[in-house]
Chain A
Amino acid sequence: MSEHAQSGDPNGTLPRHYLKPCLLLLLAEGPSHGYELLEQVRRMGIKGAEPGGLYRYLRAMEKEEMVSSWWEPSQAGPARRTYVLTEHGRGGLHDSVQSLRDVREILVSLLDRFDTLPTRAASGSRP
């Protein structure tokens, strides 16, 4: 399975590993559970995010000690897994954000050059 498909972005329009900074950012905002994380990353543009990919990503980040988690018993329902960001994860988030800033500069440069092109009507008027 491709990285884009695993990230829930079948069109490949988002940066590779985009799910990772999304999850780190969400957990930097506060502890969360799997279902909330799934809903939030879908709102952040990963429309096709699926639970299996999220589960594997969270497990991988836990092995990398970027995230820690535990089962939280509930009076009203089943136990849920609560995820929190570690200090190592906070560092990973800063690294990821810096990479995204670098990508943004490249994209802005491309878009600026595009904007200097003649308009389609003007180019169509050439002989």
Chain B
Amino acid sequence: MTSSAPKSDALRALYWRSEILRVVYWLYGEGLSDVVDVGLIRRYLGVDAHEDLATFLDHLVDEGSLVRDGDWYALSARGRAKGEVELATAFSDLVHPVLGEGNEECWCHMSAAEAEACADPRARRPPAQSAPATRAHETVSDDASGKAHR
């Protein structure tokens, strides 16, 4: 699922905020768990180890949606009260996979920063290794299907 995350820092922060809150609310709503740690979030989201989820969890603590007790995080009273319905609508247009340039759902159509981040790897690619324009995004599109992460 990591490959579904946008590339620019601003949208990545929003993306992981939404993904993490969604898992925490899901567990809480189903009565399965009131607390999570980084490892549990990683397992639920199928996230690669290099993704720094602890930072995004701490952002949620800073904004008051989660409270932290050692390695464990729980929804705050404010987070429970505000988040459960807001989550359904506030990020619904932002949380979708990267499908690649040429596809109308690509993040690069949504944000100037994302378009810049999307174009940057192609600009830096040596000419000798250049593939047809759609090639890199075909790979991203395969990853975004989620098949590689199951």
* Interface residues in chain A, defined as those with a beta carbon under 8 Å from any beta carbon in chain B: 3, 6, 33-35, 38, 51-52, 55-56, 59-60, 63, 70-71, 73, 77-81
Given known contacts A34-B26, A56-B45, A59-B1, what 9 new A-B pairs fall within 8 Å (CB)?
A51-B27, A51-B30, A51-B32, A52-B44, A55-B26, A55-B44, A71-B85, A81-B25, A81-B26
Bound-state Cα–Cα, A3 to B43, Å = 15
CB distance B25 to A78 under 8 Å?
Answer: yes
In the complex, how many angstroms separate the beta carbon of B83 from the nearest chain A beta carbon? 9
B56 at the interface (CB under 8 A from A): no
In the complex, how many angstroms separate the beta carbon of A58 from the nearest chain B beta carbon? 9
Question: How many residues of B sit at the interface, in one of the four size bands?
Answer: 20 to 34
Residue of A nearest to B34 (CB): A78
* Interface residues in chain B, defined as those with a beta carbon under 8 Å from any beta carbon in chain A: 1, 23, 25-32, 40, 43-46, 80, 84-85, 87-88, 97, 145-146, 149-150
Bound-state Cα–Cα, A78 to B150, Å = 29
Give the 5 A-B residue pairs with the shortest CB-CB distance, closest first: A79-B84, A80-B29, A35-B30, A71-B88, A78-B29
CB distance B97 to A63 under 8 Å?
Answer: yes
In the complex, how many angstroms separate the beta carbon of A20 from the nearest chain B beta carbon? 10
Residue of A nearest to B86 (CB): A71
Q: A33-B30, A78-B80 are in contact. Are A55 and B85 (CB under 8 A)?
A: no
CB distance A3 to B31 under 8 Å?
Answer: no
Bound-state Cα–Cα, A73 to B80, Å = 11
Bound-state Cα–Cα, A55 to B22, Å = 11
Residue of A nearest to B42 (CB): A52
A73: contacting residue among B26, B40, B45, B84, CB under 8 A: B84
CB distance B25 to A71 under 8 Å?
Answer: yes
CB distance B150 to A56 under 8 Å?
Answer: yes
CB-defined A-B contacts under 8 Å, sample of 28: A33-B30, A34-B29, A34-B32, A35-B30, A35-B31, A35-B32, A38-B30, A51-B44, A55-B23, A55-B44, A56-B1, A56-B45, A60-B146, A63-B145, A63-B146, A71-B29, A71-B85, A71-B87, A73-B84, A73-B85, A78-B28, A78-B29, A78-B80, A79-B25, A79-B88, A81-B25, A81-B29, A81-B30
